[in-house]
Amino acid sequence: MSKYDIIVLGSGPGGYVTAIRASQLGFKTAVVEKESLGGVCLNWGCIPTKALLKSAQVFEYLKHAEDYGLKVSGAEHDFGAVVKRSRGVAEGMSNGVKFLMKKNKIDVIEGFGTLKTGKKIDVDGTIYSADHIIIATGARSRELPSLPQDGKKVIGYREAMTLEKQPKKMIVVGSGAIGVEFAYFYNSLGTDVTIVEYLDKIVPVEDDDVSKQLERSFKKSGIKIMTSAEVTSVDTSGSGVKATVKTKKGEEVLEADIVLSAVGIKSNIENIGLEDVGIAVDRDKILVNDFYQTNIPGYYAIGDVTPGQALAHVASAEGILCVEKIAGQHVEALDYGNIPGCTYCSPEIASVGLTEAQAKEQGLDVKIGKFPFSASGKASASGAKDGFVKVIFDAKYGEWLGCHMIGAGVTDMIAEAVLGRKLETTGHEVLKTVHPHPTMSEAVMEAVAAAYDEVIHL
């Protein structure tokens, strides 16, 4: 029986990062993976979807070349080639993780791992033991009883990335990040897309102003949007699929080639031995303390299987913190109130901290500033005037409570707000920090200036 200091179960962005940090700290480390190194994120999520979205963006540039004084004739897309490129990007990233495992002398154990008592893991009949076992098994597409996935006409995100043929009509159920990203991708390539959202706005976790702006941008692109609507049943008996949608006005039947179910995720906690070991679970999540220890000594859990935000960068941060605590380092608990969220449709969305509604619900006296990209020189020159930056500050102390962006490239801009909040900066400090011109990022400074009635360019 092989013995390790740390065994990580799962090699997604939580698992493989955890394993590398553990190895850096001098631990003899192994990672168990049943499929491909990099997990869903590298192989079926974050990375290949961004490759698809980039192809869609380039195609949109070609379609609108005349807006930039250019002439392009006969621009076409090859759906199969777009999908092939995406898979190639994913394969390259997974191979990169293989290299990192080898570089850091981490043993990769291929197979399905099942937890055992006594800090052991059974991988397809072979037993391994460790002083510390870290569960990082991630999540998968959640299925609704009214929307069972058959992988052909009713699909999840995984199938949506590898369809052999582009559908003429698609219904996207759910308007979180996965839903709106695929809605944008397929619409850009010419698919007739309808979004069905159960709540009263799309991207419902975002600030109300962001949701309204994305709805305007999507409708301008030809995407149909149904909010306060629910798919109650689907009929796949014909050549396509018929979805019965319940709305405030009554029932409506939508016809399409494919229905994409994007209604959230389900933690991968079944059949991995949690019950045998006695690890506590509540509402589909493994219960952990601030340093990711479960109720059973020697067993830890990070990432999508725990109650924190189900985001790749959260899983990575949790894993690093977990092994540094094991190593005896002084570490601070993760601040889940300062986690950035990014959505890569077009226009992009990025946010951190409280929304305006949340701040007011807490009874806070706030200053709010908003700067539209339509007033930005860089955005105008780039032909990307949709969207804005919105900032929320505590009126008394100047604390940066929240930042919400929608527009071109904002997922690369949000880190300024995350760092500023981490360093407890104030509105006046941001305002007096010189931002480069012309850039999209100077809209952050302008939004802060608007909050303090000092805006120049609006």
Query: Residue 81's closest CA among 111, 124, 58, 52?
Result: 52
Specify whether the CB–CB gap between 451 and 368 falls below 8 A: yes
Is 427 annotated in a binding site? The answer is no
Locus of tokens 């597409």: 141
Burial category of 221 from C-beta neighbours within 10 Å (exposed 0-12, middle 13-18, buried 19 and up): middle
151 among annotated binding-site residues: no
**Rounded distance between C-alpha atoms, residue 159 and residue 182, angstroms:** 11
**CB neighbours (10 Å) of residue 79?**
17
From 77, 330, 435, 437, active-site residue? 437
Residue 176 counted as an annotated binding residue: yes
Report the interhelical angle of 177-188 vs 208-220 (nearest 10°). 20
Active site residue 64: no
Q: Is 337 annotated as a binding residue?
A: no
Task: For residue 179, say whether it is annotated as part of any ligand binding site.
Answer: yes
Q: How far apart are CA 403 and CA 83, in angstroms?
A: 34
The answer on whether 175 is annotated among ligand-binding residues is: yes
For the stretch 304-310, contacts whose Cβ atoms lie closer than 8 Å and that sit 24 or more positions apart, written own/partner, are: 304/14, 304/138, 304/139, 304/265, 304/267, 304/268, 305/135, 305/136, 305/137, 305/138, 305/139, 305/267, 305/268, 305/269, 308/334, 308/336, 308/339, 309/336, 309/339, 309/341, 310/139, 310/265
CA–CA gap between residue 329 and residue 343 (Å, rounded): 34
Report the C-alpha gap between 133 and 19 in whole angstroms.
Answer: 11
Provide φ and ψ at 425, rounded to 5°.
Answer: -70, 160
Is 177 annotated as contributing to ligand binding?
Answer: yes
- Which among 363, 173, 145 is positioned nearest to 264, based on CA atoms? 173
- Asked if residues 356 and 207 have their Cβ atoms less than 8 Å apart, the reply is yes
Residue 231 pairs in a beta bridge with 245
What's the rounded Cα separation, in Å, for the pair 228 and 248?
7
Q: Is 88 among the annotated ligand-binding positions? A: no
Does 180 belong to an annotated binding site? yes
Residue 308, annotated ligand binder?
A: no
Contact 279, 116 (CB under 8 A): no
Does residue 257 have a known ligand-binding role? no
**What six digits make up the tokens of 403?**
């930042």
Mark the binding-site residues for NAD(+), compressed into ranges.
174-181, 197, 264
Mark the binding-site residues for FAD, compressed into ranges.
50, 113, 304
Catalytic residues: 437
Mark the binding-site residues, compressed into ranges.
50, 113, 174-181, 197, 264, 304
